[in-house]
Amino acid sequence: MASLRSAKILFCWGFLLQRWLLLVDSAIGVNWGTVSSHRLPPPVVVDLLKANKIGKVKLFGADPDVLRALRGSGIEVMVGIPNELLGVLASSATASDLWVSQNVTRYMGKGGADIRYVAVGNEPFLSSYQGQYQSLVLPAMLNIQQSLARVNLAGYTKVVIPCNADAYQSASVPSEGMFRPELTQIMTQLVSFLNSNGSPFVVNIYPFLSLYQSADFPQDYAFFEGSSHPVVDGQNVYYNAFDGNYDTLVAALNKIGYGQMPIAIGEVGWPTEGASYANITAAWTFNQGLINHVLSGKGTPLRPGIPPVDVYIFSLLDEEQKSTLPGNFERHWGIYSFDGQAKYNLNLGSGNALLKNAKNVPYLPSRWCVINPMQDPTAVTNHMKLACSVADCTTLYYGGSCNAIGDKGNISYAFNSYYQLQKQDSRSCNFDGLGMITFLDPSISECRFLVGISDSSCSCVGCGVCCALWIMAFWVVIYLRVMNSL
């Protein structure tokens, strides 16, 4: 009996050590967004994650193809619920049960996806929403929690709420941090719930946006290499914006009685083009500095030796169909280009010194659409506007990698972007006779003329739009079923 007991103890310690090592290896995760018309097949992306030993991935929805591809991968998954669904989930336990059944339990079980978190909404307290979702978050969260409990998953799959950093504020220094006055009550209730269920507080922090939005923001303070403009807060000195922002949240949590609340970083990163300071050098400097800082275990002045429980880099891949209202950089956050090719070398601290590229990418044939040199380009303006109104031309503008390729280069880039979006339909390269198809790569220096990706599951223009419409229709059906059952 004693030997059996010793064997059990050794097994338990071995299991715990294995889990600890896994957590160390997978401390840095990524956001996997799919707002693109050139979507890599999900199995290719999962293989890319595994090749780079990325053990955590955060999704903005619950795409069936993505979750099927993640089955058996060993990757810890956070699935997301869009803000648009908070209303029906807040008002109906039936809808909540159905959502959990369709998007969580269906993919779990032996050999299934390892879904660790359900993110209820995405930055629902953002000030620009003007309180639109404020009253819906807690009821939706409670319903999802109860739905998870009914299928015996509440102890394993945790409910979280990704918050934007504008949920809290400070007059001058981090120690004065507090939640926005109109959010204090709801944040107290929210954090109490998260704490009682063992869930972390998830926050998105973007030093790049602080630099982008303010001409007075010290550039070196945005990075992790020290600053000539540190923030002095009593005995604490802050040399980077990340630590300052993080500790502002710690102070805000402390003021509502939860100063020891675990914190996870849901989004943090740096774009590679589309604005001043958005370039490959700056993106590498920030992301590598962040990774080194987090994995050092150093923590922050208010939480020394206690780094975030999870950190999800934003993002894995570029998404060329995202809105450019925040800025052209919005489509260029990826550490990889849309086709899974690394933009720069990055050590994620998981054992690989460099990023590995995606394999088995199903590219379309190697052909491009460019301006016909025999035609008069003076009548091209309207055609360029048409192409760029649908396809992505942000690399042509200020801060873009194709900004200096000349007028004919600009025209050809726009034509080709549209042509690839249309899956190389020959008719899409006509442009009233101004376009022509070439088999010679027209890329110029760092300006890459893309070749699209074949996607048999959604061959219409704008795969992301097509699939989004399908999902919308799916939820309309669910909503009607729920309403009929009430």
Residues marked as catalytic: 123, 267
Helix (H, G, I), strand (E, B) or coil at 3: helix
Selection from 216, 236, 235, 238 nearest residue 227 by Cα: 238
The Cβ of residue 196 has, within 10 Å, a number of other Cβ atoms equal to 8
Q: How many CB atoms lie within 10 A of CB 278?
A: 22
Q: Check: CB of residue 366 under 8 Å from CB of residue 242.
A: no
Task: Give 459-481 as a DSSP string.
Answer: -SS-HHHHHHHHHHHHHHHHHHH
> Are 255 and 178 a contacting pair, CB within 8 Å?
yes
List of E strands, 144-227: 158-160, 163-164, 168-169, 178-179, 201-204
Cβ partners under 8 Å of residue 400, min gap 6: 273, 274, 328, 394
Angstrom distance (rounded) from CA 77 to CA 79: 6
Greatest C-alpha distance within the chain: 91
Which uninterrupted H or E stretch holds 76? strand 76-81
User: What are the residue ranges of helices labelled H in 158-314?
Assistant: 184-196, 207-213, 241-255, 280-295
Any idea what DSSP says for residue 224?
A: S
Give the Cα separation of 261 and 88 in Å (integer): 29
Q: Is residue 167 classed as helix, strand or coil in its secondary structure?
A: helix
What is the DSSP annotation of 429-445? G-TTTTEEEESS---BT
The structure tokens listed for 462 are: 């704008």
Q: Which of 338, 293, 296 is nearest to 315 (CA)?
A: 338
Contacts of 39 (CB under 8 A, 6+ apart): 453, 455, 458, 463, 464
Which residues sit opposite 76 in a β-bridge?
56, 114
Cβ neighbors of 142 (< 8 A, separation 6 or more) are 193
Displacement of CA 235 from its chain's centroid (Å): 35
